[in-house]
Structure 1
Amino acid sequence: MPTARLTDRTVLRIGGPDAKDFLQGLLTNDVTGALPVYAGLLTAQGKHIVDMIVHEGGGELLLDVAASHADALAKRLGMYKLRRDVTIDASDASVFARWADPADDFGDRPFDPRLAALGERWLGFEARTTATPDQYDAHRRALGVPNTAEMADLLWLETNADELNGVSFTKGCYVGQENTARMHHRDKLRRRLMPVKLSGPASDEPIMAGSVAAGDLRSRAGDLGIAYLRMEHAETPLTQGGAPVALLWPGWLDRQAG
């Protein structure tokens, strides 16, 4: 089974007697129950600032977060801390992932809380690696699961956070909760991140449905991309720069959710 050290991820340690209550009032998911869980820190308007996987270890909460966002997250958490008995530090631990065909036997590591098909995901200091971060990224992209960079400035539910187990609607208040709950009670989302297959050359042009702009491409690797699309055009032929774009509806996303 391929195993990779995800060098684009880093780990923050949240310690102290108030650590769980502190994060419980900020993050979109319940960190007082079984861990790991997937969660986001949002603006007051419910927009993505940073997403993370919350683990527990050594009496602390450990945040698996994009390395590019770790310093900003630590600074923002420090702003929220006030007089709480909480410590925020960097960890030397690394993030590891192991994945394979679902028929293969896995070990006793926890599965990625977003989607079991992503494979096992854990924090540690040493592991025998047989794959690269780019290979893991290709695996993630093939499953249609977005990453932090692709979510920038989007409303939390538009990142498919609900379907990827990234929000609790029963835990109570958190930053951005009001708008997120309001969106949840709508019948459908108007826009969301979706995987696409591209046939043209790399381009910054919008994705079109006929003569109407249907969305924009958030990232691309080879012919696979993650696009931010208006779901009213999900069943419409799409193009970018005149070349066809195929919407790859992921198996974990109910078509009625569009």
Structure 2
Amino acid sequence: MPNTKYTKLPRGLVVISGSDSNTFLQGLISQNVNKVTQKKAAYSALLTPQGKFLHDFCISKIGNNLILDCEQGREEELISNISKFKLRAKVELKHEKELSVFSVFGDEASQSLHLSNILGASREIKNGIAFVDPRKIGLGCRIIAPESDTIELLEDLSIKEGTFIEYDTIRLSLCIPDGTKDLLVNKSVLLEANFDELHGIDWEKGCYIGQEVTARSKFRGLLKRRLVTVSYKGPSINSGTPILLNGKEVGTIKSSVDGLSLAMLRLDALEESGIANPLTSNGIVISRFKSFDK
């Protein structure tokens, strides 16, 4: 598979087990947990009652256990935030440290892992699971398993090791946020971060924490800013650097690689900017990147 590569991702894992796992999580997060099976993964978020971002994660299922593929370093915080609602539910939450997360990316990623080229398509593998990224096909696939088992599988499939920067460039080009690198805890809302387009919200499921505010922002069209990908010439711009239009601050640079960044930008500034009236950051002209849109 010459066009397919892999890299280990800096991710954390939380396992939810117990007979009430699905029912318990269903009332908390933005995704329909009942659609998650051994053959289907999903993307979701945990919000505050005011509809503000707390955590995002991919959800898969190994056996009867739900696996939350979350931001590294925030696993215990995620467990704490979920456990507040545990009450008498028959569930256990565990920070899983024996498994690792790998990305397999490239045009033939799903084919190389014998997966259907469908968002979230999953299959169990030795001591773990492989699935197509449930946000965008273009981001490839993920493997959650012990590192040694994953390396053995990838070598058997003749998939070569790539770099995290290669993976991250694809992520940025598809305008996919990476947790708190791109979102503000207790401040960001899901639609600002493209969760609708990334299939992170089930609009037909019942109530969950923050559901009312999320629905209102969609149906009333209340968004004033949005996460977009911007491109420019030169090295990466530091996260937090202001974006200016006509000398006024209209946004902020988020995560970056050389020549490409995510940016939280006011929608009116995007409309007003152009060749004769460019957006700038750190003195560099930036423009909206045309996504691969896969």
If the length of structure 2 is used for normalisation, what is the TM-score?
Answer: 0.80
- Which of residues 20, 23, 26 in structure 2 aligns to 1:24? 26
How big is each residue's C-alpha offset from its partner over 1:53-99, in whole Å with a ceiling of 9 and x where there is no partner?
00001211000001122110011112111111110012221112111
Which position in structure 2 is the counterpart of 1:215?
251
The answer to which of 34-43 and 210-219 deviates more is 210-219
Match status 1:111 vs 2:132: yes
| Aligned mate of 1:73, from 66, 74, 78 | 78
Quick one: which of 171, 188, 213 aligns to 1:140? 171
Native 8 Å contact 2:138 2:170 kept in 1: no
The answer to whether the Cα contact below 8 Å between 1:14 and 1:88 also exists between their aligned partners in 2 is: yes
User: Gaps (5+ residues) in structure 2?
Assistant: 115-129, 155-160
* TM-superposed deviation, 1:146: 1.4
Residue equivalent to 1:256: none
Structure 1 residues 205 and 64: alpha-carbon distance in aligned structure 2, compared to 1, 3 A threshold: closer
Q: Which moved more, 1:214-223 or 1:17-26?
A: 214-223
Q: CA deviation at 1:241?
A: 2.9
The aligned runs of 1:38-53 (5 Å cut-off) are: 38-53=43-58
Shift in Å, 1:214 = 1.4
* Residue number in structure 2 paired with 1:250: 291
Letter matched to residue 268 of structure 2: E
Q: 1:124 aligns with which of 145, 148, 167?
A: 145
TM-score by length of 1: 0.90
**Residue matched to 2:127:** none
* 1:144 Cα deviation from its structure 2 partner: 2.1
1:102 deviates by 5.6
The number of aligned residues is 252
Cα RMSD of the aligned pairs, angstroms, is 2.0
- 1:33 counterpart residue number: 35
Distance change >3 Å, CA 104–CA 165, structure 1 → 2: closer
Q: Are 1:98 and 2:134 an aligned pair?
A: no
Given the alignment, which residue of 78, 88, 107 partners 1:83? 88
Amino acid at match of 1:151: L
Please state whether the residue corresponding to 1:181 is helix, strand or coil. helix
C-alpha separation between the residues in 1 aligned to 2:290 and 2:251? 15
Distance in 1 separating the partners of 2:190 and 2:65: 26
Is the 2:251–2:266 Cα contact (8 Å) retained in structure 1? yes
